[in-house]
Amino acid sequence: MLADVVATGGLGDDIAGLPAVALSPEWFSEKALEIATYAVGSGVHVIFGGVGSPVANSASVTEYMIDGWTERYGGSLRFIKEPHDTVTATLDLLDASRMALKIDTAHERVLFALDRRR
């Protein structure tokens, strides 16, 4: 669906630029991690809640999954235990994408006749 938004045009040139974040209340299997990793490789930010990260003991891997993958693919994989922190991180990611697309401020809407919009 995000690829369709990009293909249709008008809101960014890549999935990584879209204001979208995938959320899961917890990671519950290796398959869920595989799907999330695929989404990150496509440019989507993914946040898992719940019990914590399976790689929490490695600060370098955790940092790479956030900063390294964001730099390389445009998306990141994060594990955030507290629901409030999950909401804050999600809103921060969405706001950053909206600012980059310059859709973070209200603009006067100009309505056109249907034939002018095409």
Contact 55, 44 (CB under 8 A): no
Q: What is the pLDDT of residue 37?
A: 94
Q: What is the pLDDT of residue 99?
A: 94
CATH number assigned to the domain covering 2-117: 3.40.50.2030
Sorted by sequence, the CB contacts under 8 Å of residue 3 that are 6+ apart come out as 15, 42
Contact 75, 39 (CB under 8 A): yes
- Average pLDDT of the residues of the chain: 89
pLDDT at 61 > cutoff 90: yes
Q: What is the pLDDT of residue 53?
A: 86
Contact 17, 3 (CB under 8 A): no
Beta bridge pairs of residue 48: 24, 79
Query: Residue ranges of the domains in the chain?
Result: 2-117
Contact 62, 53 (CB under 8 A): yes
